[in-house]
Structure 1
Amino acid sequence: MFPSCDVKVKVWGEYACFTRPEFKVERVSYPVITPSAARGVLEAIFWKPEFRWEVREIWVLNEVREEVIVRNEIESRQSPRAKCIIEEQHQQRATLFIKNPSYLLFADIALKEFVDSPKKKYIEQFNRRVEKGKCFHQPYLGTRECTAFFGPPDGTEKPATLNIATGNMLFDIAFCENTEKRELTFLKKKDGSSSVEVGGFVKPLVFAAEVRDGILKIPPQKYDELYRQEGVHVKRAG
């Protein structure tokens, strides 16, 4: 039986790579999709500045199968100003991918404090876009080369028989406004009408993730922590 959430969507692809941050050179994927990657899929389908996505549960529909692929990459970052000669900077690196991943995402919509529109309007818009296969940009599973496909669940989906303790998993990244620690600039909506450029830093948030019977549940208090770090106020009802 599906949990009671605002939206649900089935997501699948040929490959996925949700990179673990503790591996610096070789990319190694978490065994399941992270909450931040799931949010990215939802935002690719439907996003508005009036609300935030809160992922509640992730069902792993396929058994986890891993595959190592060796690829040619360049050792330095690309830049419009810097010339890059591929023959001089290419390196062979291995990536641990997940093969044929499939997930069922359950999420709620949290409206920003300045929004007067009913939440039902955004839920219906999202469901229509899923039914028609519309998206703002093609969703992906971790890295952009891992194209994701999506559609409404048919009601027969069941989580795989899977129990994994993944350890610390990336939950999301908080964009914290701070004039003294100005490491980057980003746009922040100060009220319901305009966005302003502010300075600050980013702070990764992690949690102890565990897949039980094929289901990854995201602690709701992590969203409260995220909003405190960013100075954002939301309302979940409405």
Structure 2
Amino acid sequence: YALFSDPITRIGGEKFSYQIPTYQALKGVLESVYWKPTLIWYIDEARVMKRIQTQSKGMRPIKYTSPENDLAYYTYLKDVCYQVRAHFEWNEHRPELAHDRNEHKHHNIAKRMIERGGRRDIFLGTRECQGYVEPCVFGEGKGFYDGCGKLNFGVMVHGFDYPDETGKDEMSVRLWKSARLENGYIRFPAPNDDSPVILTRFIKPMKAKVFEDEAGFSGLNEPEFRALLGESGDEA
């Protein structure tokens, strides 16, 4: 299952999934696979492999105004499968982490983490929708929407801009005006492009977290991470 819902409607109790994954949800999957504040993941495109189907479930969420349970219906996507092509770039707004910019190292670690199913739990849009990742050749195999032309989905949330990735002391949301599926492929506009199909709206002031060697970040020399990869401490 997957639930790629509009954040604006999530507080209403009745959650309904978009028909296709959002840029931010796929970026979150990659960050669960492997992430360091040194780098930023960019989703280039995704491919929908199976038919888009939905299923509604009765849920008992806790009310905001009391400890009692409420009744709501959540509409999920079911039996989902996607191929994703992405890349990472250095976070230029983190000059204090320039010493950690080792492309060969980060690339190999990311590949190994994908082969092992990710470093953290994988979920599709929301926590209760568990998923898994595995390596694939992008574009390989038969997809349900191959040769089906264009399917338009209107305005969708594209993602969020955080201060550590933009250099601005604010958080904002990006809206994608012309989200569409073309022969099974979703080609996402880059978040840092001045594209006419991307609308940006301010949400609130926010400061970027400060990372230092002795406070919250140890780069590639993290002992627990090296133990997971079976590496010695002298390699970086």
Instruction: State TM-score, norm by structure 1.
Output: 0.69
Judge conservation of contact 1:66–1:98 (CA < 8 Å) in 2. Answer: yes
1:28-66 Cα deviation digits (max 9, x unpaired): 100011110000000001001111000010111111011
The percentage of counterpart residues that share the same residue type is 22
Q: 1:93 aligned to 2:79? A: no
C-alpha separation in 1, matches of 2:51 and 2:184: 9
SS at match of 1:172: strand
What is the one-letter code of the residue matched to 1:175?
Y
CA distance change for structure 1 residues 63 and 224 in 2, over 3 Å: closer, same or farther?
same
RMSD between aligned residues: 3.0
Judge conservation of contact 1:175–1:201 (CA < 8 Å) in 2. Answer: yes
Q: 1:211 aligned to 2:199? A: no
C-alpha separation in 1, matches of 2:38 and 2:168: 22
Instruction: State TM-score, norm by structure 2.
Output: 0.70
Structure 1: gaps spanning 5 or more residues: 1-14, 78-83, 177-187, 190-197, 233-238
What is the one-letter code of the residue matched to 2:189?
P
**CA offset at residue 200 of structure 1?**
4.8
Q: 1:102 aligned to 2:81? A: yes
1:84-115 Cα deviation digits (max 9, x unpaired): 63xxx211101110001111111111112333
What is the one-letter code of the residue matched to 2:186?
L
Structure with higher strand content:
1
Q: 1:174 aligned to 2:161? A: yes
**CA offset at residue 120 of structure 1?**
3.0
What is the one-letter code of the residue matched to 1:167?
G
Higher RCO, 1 or 2 (CA under 8 Å, sep at least 6)? 1
Aligned to 1:11: none
2:131 to 112, 136, 148: 148
C-alpha separation in 2, matches of 1:53 and 1:93: 34
Structure 2: gaps spanning 5 or more residues: 209-236
1:185-219 Cα deviation digits (max 9, x unpaired): xxx59xxxxxxxx9954211011210111110011
**CA offset at residue 224 of structure 1?**
3.6
Matches within 5 A, 1:1-238: 15-23=1-9, 24-76=12-64, 85=67, 89-113=68-92, 114=95, 115=98, 117-135=101-119, 137-153=120-136, 156-161=140-145, 163-176=150-163, 188=164, 200-207=169-176, 208-220=178-190, 222-224=191-193
Q: Which moved more, 1:112-121 or 1:56-65?
A: 112-121
1:108-152 Cα deviation digits (max 9, x unpaired): 1111233363423212111111112241x2010011000011101
Judge conservation of contact 2:153–2:180 (CA < 8 Å) in 1. Answer: yes
C-alpha separation in 1, matches of 2:168 and 2:192: 22
